[in-house]
Structure 1
Amino acid sequence: MKKILLLLALGVMFAGSVSAQEYYYGPRRVVVRHRRPERDNHDDFNRVRVGVTGGLNLANTVSGYDNNVSTGTIAGFNAGLFLDVPLIYPLSFEPEVLYSQKGYSANTPDGHFTSREDFIDVPLLAKFKLAPGFNFLIGPQLSFLTNTTNTYSSGFTVTEQDHQNNNNGNNTFLDGVIGVSFDLNQNVELRARYTIDFNQGDGYGDSYVPDYRNQVFQIGLGIKFD
């Protein structure tokens, strides 16, 4: 009986202590921490970004006068720098400076002919964010021819001619560019483009090099930096 009375007394004392604390200090606060929402990796539209790019060129030509004339495709590469400048959603401006390899191949009565041309390309593109991670690009491009290498192959004989510029034709071209890009993550994008000359090249004035317009299919990666 004494033990029961002792336990009851201790219980009353504990309850009184808790009631006194609530009276003087108020009820205990419960702090709820809200988790900060995760950042969307694709939601970087309002940031100016600088990047490097590189990829594969698949180049050939179309005739300036005869659409039935076609040439073979040769592989090259492109590499350079770009700038992504937001204007007003969903439009941004993307200027670039690229080194780009172009040219074509053709079978002639005297053998196989290959023309490889080195260009400095300056695309000035409008970029539209059509959906998170998906962009459409279109715009003009200035292309500056820096070097041409023509190779004639006939049986076991190979003749190579190297030219610093196209003396009989145009050294500066105005192109059109259309393409898309896919944001793989916040800093890496996959690119695919098509470019074609608006003005014609005169070639070298012989039967091996007709009037032509360069066209290039490009695929590559762009890497952006903060």
Structure 2
Amino acid sequence: MKKFLLMAVCLITVAGTVSAQRYDRRYQRRGVRRPAPVQRYDNRGGGDDFYTPKVGLAGGVNFSNTVDAYNSDFSTSTIAGWHAGLTFEVPIAYPLSFAPEILFSQKGYKAETIDGTFKQRTNYVDIPLLAKFRLVPGFNFVIGPQLTFITSTRNTYDDGFNTISESEYNYRGDKSYISGVVGVGITLNRNVELRGRYAIDLDKNYANGNSAIPDYRNQVFSLGLGFKFN
């Protein structure tokens, strides 16, 4: 019985080899290239480069204002700024990746007071530490904390007649704190992603003890592009 099975295996192997050789010769005589083998779908990574670590660049526009300034009756208007920096993506297990970033980011707000218009623009270094979930191919969701560090701030007062601008390099308030971030990403092609984010400070930012400048929480809506390189 064992000899019979061994003989059968040998015959099948020989037959397969001969068949493949005849198949190749037939395509060669006709001058046609042999069809390429079909690649299998990778369930772990969606058949793409999910498991390849990536580094990239990101940039875009911020729309920011503040909440909980003074009290619920105090409202602020949105001002525009920009953000830019480095992005990283380290796959963990499909569909989860760790996606830290280092960004320069402009935030601030504008408020109408009895003395005129007050506007504050502050520059930050933001370090989001995000969990990234690929929900479906071409679409992802991110969530996580963000470490925020103030680098400089500028206040502008406009009473309708004069505009006074001052840079506060001796800022005495909180210079670092934590925010929360959520967002989505849409893959435009292999290396470009459209990104939308929302971030809000988890604690009040205590300005500098001056009652003219409120304690506040930044909230920022951002829209931009990410460029990935393997």
When normalised by structure 1's length, the TM-score is: 0.82
Q: Is 1:53 the counterpart of 2:49 in the alignment? A: no
Quote the residue 2:215 is aligned against. Answer: 211
Structure 1's consecutive aligned runs of 4 or more residues displaced over 4 angstroms after TM superposition are 36-42
Of 71-80 and 35-44, the range deviating more from structure 2: 35-44
Deviation at 1:121, TM superposition (A): 0.2
Confirm or deny: 8 A CA contact 1:83 1:96 kept in the other structure. Answer: yes
User: What's the CA shift for 1:36?
Assistant: 5.0
Name 1:5's counterpart in structure 2: none
Picking from 139, 146, 169, the partner of 1:141 is 146
For structure 1, the 5+ residue unaligned runs are 1-25
Q: Which moved more, 1:155-164 or 1:178-187?
A: 155-164
Residue 93 of structure 2, aligned match among 67, 88, 93: 88
| Residue identity (%) | 51
Following the alignment from structure 1 to structure 2, what is the Cα–Cα distance between the partners of residues 97 and 36?
42
Q: CA RMSD in A?
A: 2.3
Match of 2:9 in 1: none
Task: Quote the residue 1:192 is aligned against.
Answer: 196
Q: Distance in 2 between matches of 1:202 and 1:108?
A: 19
Between 207-216 and 139-148, report the one with greater CA deviation. 207-216
**Equivalent residue, structure 1, for 2:225:** 221
- Report the counterpart of residue 35 of structure 2 in structure 1: 34
Give the 3 Å change call, closer, same or farther, for CA 82–165 of structure 1 in structure 2: farther
Q: Match for residue 8 of structure 2?
A: none
Say how many residue pairs are matched.
200
1:141-193 superposed Cα distances (whole Å, 9 cap, x missing partner)? 000001010000112211111012531x2110100000000010000000000
Deviations 1:48-81 (A, max 9, x none): 0110000000010001663443211000000000
Q: 1:58 to 1:170 in 2, by over 3 A?
A: same
Mapping for residues 95-110 of structure 1, pairs under 5 Å: 95-110=100-115
Give unpaired runs (5+ residues) of structure 2. Answer: 1-21, 28-32
CA apart distance, 1:33: 1.6
Q: 132, 136, 161: which one pairs with 1:156?
A: 161
Larger Rg: 1
Provide closer, same or farther for how the CA distance between residues 42 and 224 of structure 1 changes in structure 2, counting only shifts above 3 A. Answer: farther
The answer as to whether partners of 1:145 and 1:165 remain within 8 angstroms in 2 is: no
Amino acid at match of 2:98: F
Q: CA deviation at 1:109?
A: 0.6
TM-score, with structure 2 as normaliser: 0.81
CA distance change for structure 1 residues 81 and 37 in 2, over 3 Å: closer, same or farther? farther
Matched AA of 1:180: V
